[in-house]
Amino acid sequence: MINRKKVDSLIPKAIEAITNAFGVEIGGKVRNEYRGYISSFGTAVRMSGIKTAVCIYSKKTESDEDKSKIVRMIYYMLNDSGDNENIDENKAKEYLLEKIKEDEIKAKNEILEAAVAIKLALNLFELEKD
């Protein structure tokens, strides 16, 4: 179950993750598609399971914006090692899958809390359309 107090405490880290992923400061422009991607991530978790959602969102495709930024931002928020420079989607995916393997219920809650914090933090940035 998602803990609202935990989500609130994660918002500053979510802001860092967004600024790191997009190279912008608060108020900077982020493509509008990412609000949809982060919203649909939660739905994908509920419909397909946490492992499948992490794997789907870890892939870069030519037809989409880079959905792997979602997984990399979540990794940035949950990784306590301080190893947050040059995050690639495979490193982020492997970290999250290992976390899920250790304790799936706890990992699912942490990942969803991070996703909600990112969604809320996006409100501090200008969402640009095509």
Whether 45 and 53 have beta carbons less than 8 Å apart is answered as: yes
pLDDT tens for residues 31-90?
889 999 999 999 999 999 999 999 999 987 665 568 889 999 999 999 876 666 667 888
Q: 103: which strand partners?
A: none
Show the domains of the chain with their CATH numbers: 4-128 (1.10.520.30)
pLDDT tens for residues 9-21?
999 999 999 998 8
State if pTM tops 0.85.
Answer: yes
Tokens of 80: 């306590």
